[in-house]
């Protein structure tokens, strides 16, 4: 097989439908738009789900069930490397001290310490931690409460 022998598989390519080119083409007169009405006019584009002014099906059906995704607050992850830069040795790390250091805000009150980065300072952490973060904090001589 060579580049000059390549051909499309049968049915892979279609000719463009040329509407409004006379009755002999089978798509003349109304040009596949039917007779009169809103959809037959030029520039016509309906919204998705539009039903001619009738109350759409989506709005006719009752809304049921509960989805917690709107209310489920995700925890803000803070890495150990960030704590290493922002806090002094023997610091007590709480939610208040993190917000004072500019690492968290009131929009996401949940905070979690993650184990990415190295730690050389001793911290007393009073915030939820991942297992890896807890191990690194305790290995550096700190404590998690």
Q: What structural domains does the chain harbor?
A: 73-144 (3.100.10.10)
pLDDT tens-place string over residues 16-42:
999 999 999 999 999 999 999 888 999
* pLDDT confidence band for 142 (50 / 70 / 90): very high
pLDDT tens-place string over residues 81-125:
999 999 999 999 999 999 999 998 876 678 999 999 999 999 999
pLDDT tens-place string over residues 42-72:
998 888 998 989 999 999 999 888 888 878 8
Can you read off the two tokens belonging to residue 47? 């919204």
- Check residue 12 and give its pLDDT: 94
Task: Tell me, rounded to whole angstroms, the distance of Cα 116 from its chain centroid.
Answer: 24
Pick from 76, 90, 84: which is nearest to 122 by CA?
90
């Amino acid at each position: 097989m060579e580049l000059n022998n390549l051909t499309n598989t049968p049915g892979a390519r279609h000719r463009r439908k040329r509407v409004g080119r006379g009755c002999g083409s089978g798509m003349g007169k109304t040009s596949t738009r039917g007779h009169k009405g809103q959809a037959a006019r030029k520039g016509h584009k309906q919204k998705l789900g539009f039903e001619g002014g009738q109350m759409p099906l989506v709005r006719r059906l009752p809304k049921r069930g509960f989805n917690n995704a709107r209310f489920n607050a995700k925890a803000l992850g803070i890495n150990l490397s960030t704590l290493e830069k922002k806090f002094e040795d023997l610091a007590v790390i709480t939610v208040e001290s993190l917000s004072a250091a500019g690492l968290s805000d009131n929009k996401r009150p949940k905070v979690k310490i993650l184990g990415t980065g190295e730690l050389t300072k001793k911290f007393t952490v009073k915030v939820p931690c991942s297992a890896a973060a807890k191990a690194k904090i305790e290995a550096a001589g700190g404590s998690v409460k």
